[in-house]
Amino acid sequence: MPMKMSSRERLRRCYCNEQLDRPGIYIRDAYPQNDVTYDRLKAFINSSTDLKYRWSPCWTKKDSLHSHHIEPYNKNFDRHVSILYTPCGNLKSVRLESLKGQPGLQSEYLLKTRQDAEMYLSLPMNITECEVSGFFESDQKVGHRGITEVQLGLNPAGFVAELFGSEMFAIISVTDRDIIHQLCQQHMSIIMEQLKFLADKKVGPYFAMLGQEYIVPPLHSPADFYDFNVKYDKLIIDFIHEIGGRIHIHSHGSIKKVFRGFIDMGVDVLHPIEAPPMGDITASEAKDLARNKICLEGNIQIASMYENSPDQIHEETITLINNIFDDGKGLIVCPTASPYMFGKGFTCFEQFKTMIETVLEWHQ
């Protein structure tokens, strides 16, 4: 058993699938906005867990013209209307944004037809650049307490799925599959250019991407997962590995039938690994597939942190460790999502505290 590690070294070993002194412990931090009930929990998490600061590049895009305006909708939502001007015509999207701190709702997607997709493809490839000093400031700030992870955003297929919406993406993937591939290729090229820029600036080595969950069963087949996710993501991940980097992938849903695809594309850390009913794969099944290949980050259901007792959380955490950490590597204990219930920070404090302390006190 390795000697006690700093959080920075422990997470490095997680991302490289090396031996650990104990499982990692991490809590995602997209808390409800302006909710003081979580202040005590935030302080405990910041002092007790392996931290991952997230840095998102702010890309400067050229030759992309758009407009945005807000219209009243009702007492709960405003209507946000965006217009994208292309050489071949204008595209519109509409989103309802909550006035009361609740999730928003996309009411009209940017792309609805093949013609819309062709308009989007007529846009010139943007030359992108960004200021990177914030990454180095973040990494210095987290220090030995953790790492700074570079957020790449949506993978090519996830990006395209959000342009169409899941339902229309599924339809177009049957009727006009070639246009989906053209859009994925375009976005992959943008990500690759961004990665080259970041590599030149010595930003890294930890990167994160999401969006694969749009192309999983039951809406899509394993063949679709390979055709739209693995095909493009593998090229991105291969480049990250070539520059000495590591990649974290966030993908909810039913992934059992496509788990091999995550291995084949080269994922280093995969979150959240959900058992039924939210997903279709147990922790032990995931470990059998991922052993010596992928570090599993998960998989206490976030609802359990609000609904179960601290004693139940303790048992869930011990069971998770027993199912995944038998070889002393490949596990970051983590809920499936960030704390999310507004005004319930006091309700879930003891559950989070128990989960964290169970990991900190674990010994083989």
pTM over 0.85? The answer is yes
Answer whether residue 62 shows pLDDT above 70: no
Burial (CB count within 10 angstroms: exposed 0-12, middle 13-18, buried 19+), residue 207? buried
CB 329 within 8 A of CB 13: yes
- What CA–CA distance (Å, rounded) separates 114 from 246? 36
CA-nearest of 26, 28, 25 to 337 is 28
Predicted confidence at residue 127, as pLDDT, reads: 66
Answer whether residue 1 shows pLDDT above 80: no
Predicted confidence at residue 283, as pLDDT, reads: 96
Span 295-312, mean pLDDT? 96
Answer whether residue 239 shows pLDDT above 60: yes
* pLDDT-based confidence at residue 193 (cuts at 50, 70, 90): very high
Predicted confidence at residue 329, as pLDDT, reads: 97
Which amino acid is residue 82, in one-letter code? Answer: S
Percentage of the chain exceeding pLDDT 70: 98
Residue 272 C-alpha from the chain's centroid: 9
Span 233-253, mean pLDDT? 98
Span 293-309, mean pLDDT? 96
Backbone angles phi, psi at 41, to 5 degrees: -65, -45
Handedness of CA 306, 105, 125, 118 (dihedral sign): positive
- What CA–CA distance (Å, rounded) separates 206 from 245? 6
Element (H, E) at 247: strand 246-250
In the chain, the domains with their CATH numbers are 7-61+124-360 (3.20.20.210), 64-111 (no CATH)
Q: What is the pLDDT of residues 275-287, one digit of tens each?
A: 999 999 999 999 9
Predicted confidence at residue 63, as pLDDT, reads: 54
Sequence-distant (6+) residues with CB within 8 A of 83 are 66, 67, 68, 90, 91, 92
Predicted confidence at residue 64, as pLDDT, reads: 62
Mean pLDDT (the chain, rounded): 95
Q: What is the pLDDT of residues 8-51, one digit of tens each?
A: 999 999 999 999 999 999 999 999 988 999 999 999 999 999 99
Element (H, E) at 54: strand 51-55
- What CA–CA distance (Å, rounded) separates 3 from 22? 10
- What CA–CA distance (Å, rounded) separates 210 from 311? 33
Backbone angles phi, psi at 164, to 5 degrees: -95, -30
Span 167-189, mean pLDDT? 97
